[in-house]
Chains A and B, each alone.
Chain A
Amino acid sequence: MNCPNCGTTNLDNASICVNCGRPLSSAGGYTPPPPPAPAPSAAYTPPPTPTGVVPVQIPNYLWQSIVVTLCCCLPLGIVGIIFAAQVNDKIRQGDIAGAMEASKNAKKWTLIGFIVGIVAQVIIWALYSAAILSAIHSGQFNR
């Protein structure tokens, strides 16, 4: 079937688009079979999400990472780009859990890059202001 988002041809039983990761459902109301249930383990597993919930697209935060990189928030935005690429890689391989994990990391690093960038910006702005103020004070601007 073709992806409604990007038009890529996917296998009929594909649950998400191999190209863009958008969830697929055919017009006939056919829902893809759920992935095989994981083996029960002794560890606590959270209750399954209610059925019928439409899976969301996995965001890769690529453009956010690029904006953070461009707006000079240190090399942290580049870490976000790497994780964004991994999201795409894993969606293509059908590794949804891995893609979700990479997506979380991409979000985390983009956010860290953004916050650190803002904080560093404020600090450096304060330092420059102090320098300029003291220069004015000491009469360096009086010609």
Chain B
Amino acid sequence: MWILYTFPPGRGSFYPRCVFHATTGLLCPGCGTTHALHELLHGQFGAAFKSNPFFFAVMLAGVYAAPSLLRGEQPPLFMKTWFAWTCFAVTMAWWIGRNIF
């Protein structure tokens, strides 16, 4: 947390790097998560959202799922067929879309 707050991610930083981005130059669905976390800790919600809106969606799902997961159960929504396929579709759309636009 403190490390994330203090040191901005960017070129030449020590943070884990995206292998996909390093090898292909394209962005992966998770690219920008470290930036988003850093900006969130500084209260810059707009900048964080810009860095990776997909991460926000995953966080929302995480907030929903946390109580079930902590009880060792599977969140009911996660077991719905439409939800799983939506996750897949959103991930793919986001991954392809962010590299085109």
Interface residues of A (CB under 8 A from B): 5-8, 19-22, 57, 59-60, 62-63, 66-67, 69-75, 78, 81-82, 84-85, 87-89, 91-92, 117, 120-121, 124-125, 128, 132
* Interface of chain B residues 38 through 85 with chain A (CB within 8 A): 54-55, 58, 61-62, 65, 69, 73-76, 78-81, 83-85
In contact, A20 and B55 (Cβ under 8 angstroms): no
Instruction: Give Cα A8 to B77, complex, Å.
Output: 12
What residues of B have a CB within 8 angstroms of the CB of A7 in the complex? 76
Q: How many interface residues does chain B have, given as a range? A: 35 or more
In contact, A69 and B79 (Cβ under 8 angstroms): no
Instruction: Give Cα A89 to B65, complex, Å.
Output: 20
In contact, B74 and A57 (Cβ under 8 angstroms): yes
A66-B91, A70-B54, A84-B84 known, 7 other contacts, Cβ within 8 Å: A5-B73, A6-B79, A60-B84, A69-B91, A75-B20, A78-B92, A87-B84
In contact, A70 and B73 (Cβ under 8 angstroms): no
Q: Given contacts A70-B33, A124-B19, is CB(A62)–CB(B91) below 8 Å?
A: no
**Looking at A59, A62, A81, which has the most chain B CB atoms within 10 Å of its CB?**
A62
In contact, B81 and A88 (Cβ under 8 angstroms): yes
**Looking at A6, A70, A71, A128, which has the most chain B CB atoms within 10 Å of its CB?**
A70
Task: Tell me, yes or no, whether B16 is within 8 Å of chain A by CB.
Answer: yes
* In the complex, residue of chain B having the shortest beta-carbon distance to the beta carbon of A57: B74
Q: Given contacts A120-B19, A128-B17, is CB(A88)–CB(B69) below 8 Å?
A: no
What residues of A have a CB within 8 angstroms of the CB of B28 in the complex? 72, 74-75
7 nearest A-B pairs in the assembled complex, by CB-CB distance: A6-B76, A85-B84, A20-B79, A120-B19, A70-B30, A72-B30, A88-B81
What residues of B have a CB within 8 angstroms of the CB of A74 in the complex? 19-20, 28
16 inter-chain pairs at a CB distance below 8 angstroms, sorted by A residue, are: A7-B76, A20-B74, A20-B79, A62-B84, A66-B58, A67-B58, A78-B91, A78-B92, A81-B84, A81-B88, A88-B79, A117-B19, A121-B19, A124-B17, A124-B22, A125-B16
